[in-house]
Amino acid sequence: RKNLGILTPLERSLWVWANVSNLDKFLTDVYAYFIGNGLQCIIISKVIDWLTLCFIIFLTLFMSNCIDFGLLLSQNNHVTNYSEVKIPQCYSKIPLKQKFFLYVVEVLLVIKIKSFILEDYKKLRDIQNFYNHLLGIKDEELQTISWSLIVQKIMILRDQNTNAMVSDNYHNVISNDLKSKKRLNAHDIANRIMRKENYVIALFNKNILNLSLPFFKSSNNELFLTKTLEWNLNLCIFDFVFQQENGQLNPKFLKESNRLKLSEELRKRFIIAGILNIILAPFLVSYFILYYFLTFFYEFRTNPNLIGNREYTPLAMWKLREFNELYHIFKKRLNLSNEAATKYINQFPKKKIDLVLKFLAFLAESLLSILVVLTILDPENFLNFEIFYHKTVLFYISSLGAVYTICKNSIQDETLVFDPEASLRYVAQFTHYLPGEWEGKLHSEEVKNEFLKFYNLKLIIILKELMSLILLPFILCISLPKSSNRIIDFFREFSVHVDGLGYVCTFAMFNFDENKNIKNTKGNGVVVHGADKLRDEYYSSNDDKMIKSYMYFLESY
């Protein structure tokens, strides 16, 4: 490695490819580079993330410590400039808790930037050379080239002789890895990149996780999932189950004799994570409220129609995703369904709400028309005329315009043809999700409400995300520990070993037998036939997800 600096970019790329010791990590980096659209885009994205964090923290400290809001919002004082409301020497008066938090963030940010410069950047350069010199793909092409074509080029490279530069010192490591390279194909690459994600998809498909809200009992055991909870699940479960050095499943999870011990350890991890979330909740709530406010307020203010926008929920991201379906392929599939999904939701009758909205739109439109006409007749005097509570005409014109736009765009289109069954079946062509229990009820409010768990208003998703920062400790300390035994059993019973690949989720291998009964006993790859119906159902994916995943995988590649 010390002599790598004297190699040309092509020679260095050959050396890196020949000496890959962790094929999972390497292929994941190759895919991340593809998703990130090349070196420059990745660096710019990283820098923007750091600047965004710094800006929000600085703005939070500034607004909370350097502005006298009592004076600024006082009706008796007419403040005319910033210097009148600025608190002198405010930064020296920052509370000790905030100073400590700021110090911790600064240290973590410095460590992150240092790690990126000293380690990540070199890896990115190696991946760039891999694309440019071995695959013959320039960074400019990454925004337009398909992943399937990149996979084809990797398989061509697999068949070429790249062993000439393998040093004797790495012979034992490389010889094992060469076996893995020889079996590289589209399925193998997807399995390596999605080794953990396939398990997550299976966890949600088999309903293993208890994500219900304690103290809020619901008849349908609704799952409460947000991005913040996802991060906690990854920390508690997958950092525990998978080995950090090679990304492989820890063998101790495959032994039934370790079940009780591992279950207890996992239960403790959930509780500790819940306690940490309680400690961090005040900071996280402040940060995310300000982040979402700065991100979306101006958009909603300038275009109130956006308040009715919908998107897929975090729960949908795992319930609708197929095994071995890479993220960009999955997002493309969901994006194709957005228009049809919105049309399905909007066509359900809401006559009572429409009547109220029409009335409110009429009131807003009438008052807005009067104010606009009066402003046109005498703009100099009337534009700054105060009506109520020291608010000028300009304020009411803006507010009434927003109310009118929201009401008008929320009223159902009278020309829309009501056919929810056909609409939902069309949506299912993209989502690949149409449970058997929905059959015969596709026109009902019940099914629509079930679908709303996957496709909800963006505003509601944001509010849930904020609410989860308070509710997370309860889910982590009360609900999830009840799933500990099932989670440990899941990784033991739904893992299979493949030579040259390691342990992967059973469903991700697309193994079909004539009895549709696949079982891995204690993770040792033994297949058991002739099990009873209940066991057969337990070891099969729900909603025929595995066969759907297999068919769509063939179509994608």
pLDDT of residue 534: 61
Q: Look at residue 324 and give its three-state secondary structure.
A: coil
Q: Residue 70's pLDDT band (boundaries 50, 70, 90)?
A: confident
pLDDT of residue 540: 82
Q: Look at residue 343 and give its three-state secondary structure.
A: helix
Q: Look at residue 183 and give its three-state secondary structure.
A: coil
Q: Does 373 map to a domain?
A: no
Residue where the block lists tokens 């095994």: 323
Q: What is the CA radius of gyration of the chain?
A: 28
Distance CA 424, CA 340 (A): 8
- Give the residue with greater pLDDT, 384 vs 542: 542
Q: Does 158 map to a domain?
A: yes
Q: Does 548 map to a domain?
A: no
pLDDT above 60 for 148: yes
pLDDT above 50 for 494: yes
For residue 252, give both structure tokens: 């101790």
pLDDT above 80 for 5: no
Output the pTM of the full model: 0.83
**DSSP codes, 14-28:** HHHHHT-S-HHHHHH
- The answer to whether the CB of 31 falls within 8 A of the CB of 262 is no
The residue-averaged pLDDT of 132-136 equals: 93
The residue-averaged pLDDT of 261-267 equals: 96
The residue-averaged pLDDT of 431-459 equals: 91
Q: Residue 348's pLDDT band (boundaries 50, 70, 90)?
A: confident
pLDDT above 80 for 134: yes
Q: Does 503 map to a domain?
A: no
- The answer to whether the CB of 182 falls within 8 A of the CB of 500 is yes
Q: Which of 471, 99, 462 is nearest to 281 (CA)?
A: 471
For residue 264, give both structure tokens: 């207890």
The residue-averaged pLDDT of 423-441 equals: 91
Residues linked to residue 249 through DSSP beta bridges, in sequence order:
242
Buried b (16+ CB within 10 A) or exposed e, 302-312: eebebbeebeb
Backbone angles phi, psi at 449, to 5 degrees: -65, -35
The residue-averaged pLDDT of 372-395 equals: 76
Q: Residue 165's pLDDT band (boundaries 50, 70, 90)?
A: very low
Q: Please give the span between the terminal C-alpha atoms of the chain, in angstroms, as a whole number.
A: 36
For residue 386, give both structure tokens: 């105060």
pLDDT of residue 4: 61
pLDDT of residue 91: 78
Alpha-carbon torsion 173, 179, 182, 184, what sign?
Answer: negative
Residue where the block lists tokens 């009067």: 370
- Give the residue with greater pLDDT, 424 vs 524: 424
The residue-averaged pLDDT of 305-310 equals: 80
Query: What are the distances in angstroms from CA 411 to CA 93, 302, 355, 360?
Result: 51, 20, 9, 11
Residue where the block lists tokens 């923290």: 57
Q: Residue 178's pLDDT band (boundaries 50, 70, 90)?
A: low
pLDDT of residue 161: 52
Buried b (16+ CB within 10 A) or exposed e, 240-252: bbbeeeebebeee
Q: Which of 377, 359, 231, 324 is nearest to 511 (CA)?
A: 324
Q: Does 437 map to a domain?
A: no
pLDDT above 70 for 478: yes
Percent of the chain clearing pLDDT 90 (strictly above): 47
pLDDT of residue 35: 95
Distance CA 95, CA 492 (A): 50
- The answer to whether the CB of 133 falls within 8 A of the CB of 10 is yes
For strand 455-457 and strand 310-312, is the pairing parallel, antiparallel, or unpaired? antiparallel
Q: If you count them, how many residues does the chain have?
A: 557
pLDDT of residue 520: 45
Percent of the chain clearing pLDDT 70 (strictly above): 87
Distance CA 5, CA 415 (A): 68
pLDDT of residue 169: 42
- Give the residue with greater pLDDT, 173 vs 542: 542
- Give the residue with greater pLDDT, 534 vs 9: 9
Taking phi over 0 as left and psi of -120 to 50 as alpha, with beta for the rest, 213 belongs to beta
pLDDT above 50 for 481: yes
pLDDT of residue 536: 64
pLDDT of residue 519: 45
Distance CA 16, CA 4 (A): 10
The residue-averaged pLDDT of 271-300 equals: 86
For residue 404, give both structure tokens: 């009118």
- The answer to whether the CB of 322 falls within 8 A of the CB of 545 is yes
pLDDT of residue 175: 44
- The answer to whether the CB of 539 falls within 8 A of the CB of 517 is yes
pLDDT above 70 for 332: yes
pLDDT of residue 328: 94
Distance CA 305, CA 408 (A): 9
For strand 502-505 and strand 495-498, is the pairing parallel, antiparallel, or unpaired? antiparallel
Q: Does 555 map to a domain?
A: no
For residue 130, give both structure tokens: 């891999």
Q: Which of 1-5, 157-161, 220-224 has the lowest mean pLDDT?
A: 1-5
Q: Does 121 map to a domain?
A: yes
- Give the residue with greater pLDDT, 84 vs 207: 207
Distance CA 251, CA 524 (A): 10
Q: Does 468 map to a domain?
A: no
Domain tally for the chain? 1
Q: Which of 81-85, 260-264, 380-384 has the lowest mean pLDDT?
A: 380-384
For residue 387, give both structure tokens: 């009506």
Residues linked to residue 455 through DSSP beta bridges, in sequence order:
312
Q: Output the average pLDDT for the chain.
A: 84
Task: Supply the range of the domain harboring residue 152.
Answer: 1-166+173-184
pLDDT of residue 351: 76
Q: Which of 123-137, 461-475, 511-525 has the lowest mean pLDDT?
A: 511-525
H or E element that contains 387 = strand 386-388
The residue-averaged pLDDT of 351-364 equals: 86
pLDDT above 60 for 2: no
Q: Look at residue 197 and give its three-state secondary structure.
A: helix
Q: Residue 533's pLDDT band (boundaries 50, 70, 90)?
A: low
* pLDDT tens digit sequence for 394-419: 888 888 888 888 888 777 777 777 78
pLDDT of residue 378: 75
pLDDT of residue 76: 67
Amino acid, single-letter form, for residue 243:
Q
The torsion of the CA quartet 233, 238, 241, 243, rounded to 10 degrees, works out to: -150
Residues linked to residue 457 through DSSP beta bridges, in sequence order:
310
Percent of residues in the chain assigned helix, strand, coil, to nearest 5 = 70, 5, 25
Cβ neighbours of 390 (radius 10 Å): 8
pLDDT of residue 3: 59
Alpha-carbon torsion 31, 34, 40, 46, what sign?
Answer: negative
- ∠19-22-28 over CA atoms, to 5°? 115
Q: Residue 377's pLDDT band (boundaries 50, 70, 90)?
A: confident
Q: Look at residue 83 and give its three-state secondary structure.
A: helix
